[in-house]
Structure 1
Amino acid sequence: MNHDAYSDDYIAGILNSVKTIAVVGASDNEARPSFYVMKYLKRKGYRVIPVNPGKVGRQIVGETVYGALRDIPEPVDMVDCFRNSDAIPPIVDEAIEIKAKVVWMQLGVRHDAAAAKAEAAGIKVVMNRCPKIEFGRLSGEIAFMGGRSGIISSKRVKLIGNK
């Protein structure tokens, strides 16, 4: 996998297939990117599960916070990482343990060795991207892209790649 350039089909395939997203590094501060990304993804129909060991049992965007991926009592499709690059290897280990399908590292986050380990375990990896931005870009969402998107619809969005 070339982690310097992802095809639209690859990203759309991930965002169309996942339902439950664990957000590692979740914050209850409304000004933090993890907070508004969780809120956005939840509005788009994803189940978001905040993970932050310092906030266990609290609520963020109406969801209970867990201390670790292995503490989540339901299957997780995607692990969205709001942690620095050095923190990624143990997160990947937990993602493998819980049988996540995708590890997504946020903007500015990249760890090639951890990505290779995840891929060797059959997990798809995205690095240095934001699912909120990618969803908005691929859906032509008017609130994100502005009035010139050419796509205006009241129907539920199905993301498309380069087809």
Structure 2
Amino acid sequence: MSDTATAERVLSEASTIAVVGLSRDPAKSAHSVPAAMQSAGFRVIPVHPSADVLLGERVYRSLADIPEHVDIVDVFRPSGEAAAVARDAAAIGATALWLQQGIISEEARTIAAEAGMDYVEDQCIAVVRALAGITR
């Protein structure tokens, strides 16, 4: 688990969050958590293989397709896919990689460190935001 101070610093410095694995289903945390971040004023950019619009935002098929800087890549995919997402996040020059609660990857942590990205794992971004009172 990442330390809370790092998680809060990453959030306090960020404004744009690309969400890999944002769900179409409003009942899933992979939808409600990004929606909560959007409601708190963060720019949420959905990354999904087949949707066109989620949370009122244009959906991109991959991180590489996003035409603007991404502060945080927030991962809602299984731990086994985290390293590949970390490589993609490093390739676009993302500032931080955030693995949601329950997602842990030593390989993703290593990739993030080698790329100079901040790294948070096994924490819910919306919970950290709410507890710290961070909004945009």
Q: TM-score range, shorter-chain basis?
A: over 0.9
Task: Name the SS of the counterpart of 1:23 in structure 2.
Answer: strand
| Aligned twin of 2:83 | 89
Moved over 6 A (4+): none
TM-score by length of 1: 0.79
* Alpha-carbon distance in 2 for matches of 1:5, 1:102: 13
* Aligned-residue RMSD, C-alpha: 1.2
Listed as ranges, the matches of 1:8-87 within 5 Å are 8-55=4-51, 58-87=52-81
Q: Which runs of 5+ in 2 are unaligned?
A: none
Name the aligned partner's letter for residue 91 of structure 1: V
Listed as ranges, the matches of 1:77-156 within 5 Å are 77-139=71-133
TM-score by length of 2: 0.94
Q: Could you tell me the percent identity over the aligned residues?
A: 33
The structure with higher relative contact order (CA 8 Å, sep 6+) is 2
* Alpha-carbon distance in 2 for matches of 1:27, 1:44: 19
Q: CA deviation at 1:5?
A: 4.8
* Alpha-carbon distance in 2 for matches of 1:92, 1:24: 11
Farther off after superposition, 27-36 or 75-84: 27-36
